[in-house]
Amino acid sequence: MSGASSRAVVPARLRRARLGVGLLFFTNAIAYANLVPRLPEVRVDLGLSYTQFGLAIAMMPVGALVLGLTAGALIRRFHSNNVGTWGMILLAGSVVLAGLAPNGVLFAGALFLAGALDSIADVAQNSHGLRVQREYGRSILNGMHGIWSMGAVAGGLMGGAAAGLGLDLSLHLATVAALVAATNVWGHRLLLPGADPKADVEHGAAEATGSPVDAPATTGAGARRAISGRTWLVLLALGVVAMSGTWVEDAGATWAASYLRDELGTGATLAALGFVALQGMQFVGRITGDRMVDRWGQRGVARVGAVIGLVGMGTALAFPTVWGTVLGFGAAGFGVATLIPSAMAVADDLPGFKHGAALTYLGWLLRASFLISPPLVGLIADAVSIRAGLLLMPISAVLVLLLARVLAPRRAG
């Protein structure tokens, strides 16, 4: 059968499930992205320094680290479709609590709760997306993450417009939360029902995205759970690759608006464009990423993306201008577009792990990276400048170039 015809024959239930997962990804992004352009005013209203603000933001990954490892067990007990849906509804409510916080401590506490819920919902939606991808027989997860980026762009534009109009923050976020809840209640019926079958880890290389790991043939449940030291090292390397992507995403979400407002002198609405540009170009990279990965392999796409991000953001930081910075954030977003879905696809096929366990561990590493990034950039910003703190972005591109070999190469044939 030709590639064109095989792509055309997709059962209706899978198309519905793909839409349902897409709604999970979209609402996951739009919930928090509406708060992002308003973070500078939150910092000022609460009287926080850059370091204190960075520490408050870091409570999101702390919540994820404390409670995120429960995601795998919750998925096995309640199934990824249910955990993803209700996790998203609760996440949207926690973002409202952050907007209502009267002081820095309660703001940090609300972000702690949001981080825990986001971690659980994130693993569930990716687990369900991978389930749908396996039944499709080709890569679709990059497109799912592209929908997340589209939601982030929409949320960023909404938040920027709300900030420019001076809308009440709590009312703004409550309206968004109601929209998220209604969308997920409706979209839940589109998802695949029942328990999530464990992928056959012995045949991970036959998946659409492939596997770079030479897994020995094993039989029996006990053999599958014998995890080698090399497999753990591959998972750690995948974590660093994915973390490089999260550092870039966090820089856009946490610091782009503050950098453009405080150091380059833009207004509130224009300051939102750094985050919007990053997420917009990440959306472009992800919506085209599945075909790029199928054609050139995860490894090659990641390396080219790292070069684009390194040159784009490195140039923007070396020669700071408003529009050059916006373009730099856009280049960085395009460069990291496929990193997280590629790392997740490889991790989910690693031999020996229970269903959802490798994804949960990888998600835990991603949240750990968010714990490091905000306070680190905040400390550098207070000591030197936000511009100096944003050097973490080109550094992350260098790490991808060094570790991209753990991703899948181009498939033969």
What does the H/E/C string look like for 33-59? HCCHHHHHHHHHHHCCCHHHHHHHHCH
- Residue 290: CB partners within 8 Å, gap ≥ 6? 138, 139, 140, 141, 142, 143
State which H helix or E strand residue 79 sits in: none
Alpha-carbon distance values, 355 to 87, 199, 219 (Å): 19, 8, 16
Q: How far apart are CA 288 and CA 382, in angstroms?
A: 39
Tell me the longest C-alpha to C-alpha distance in the chain: 63
The pTM of the full predicted model, rounded to 2 decimals, is 0.67
- The separation between the first and the last C-alpha atoms of the chain, rounded to the nearest angstrom, is 14
246/143 Cα distance (integer angstroms): 18
Tens-of-pLDDT digits for all 413 residues of the chain?
444 444 557 788 888 888 988 999 999 989 888 988 888 888 888 988 888 888 898 888 788 778 877 887 888 888 888 899 999 999 999 999 998 899 989 999 999 999 899 988 988 888 888 888 888 877 787 778 778 878 888 898 898 888 888 888 889 999 999 999 999 999 999 888 877 765 422 222 222 223 333 333 333 433 445 777 787 888 888 988 988 888 898 888 888 888 998 888 888 778 888 888 998 898 888 888 878 888 888 888 999 999 999 999 999 999 999 999 999 999 999 999 888 888 888 887 777 777 667 777 887 787 777 778 888 888 898 888 989 989 989 999 999 999 888 887 766 44
Q: What angle do CA 149, 154, 157 make, to 5 degrees?
A: 125
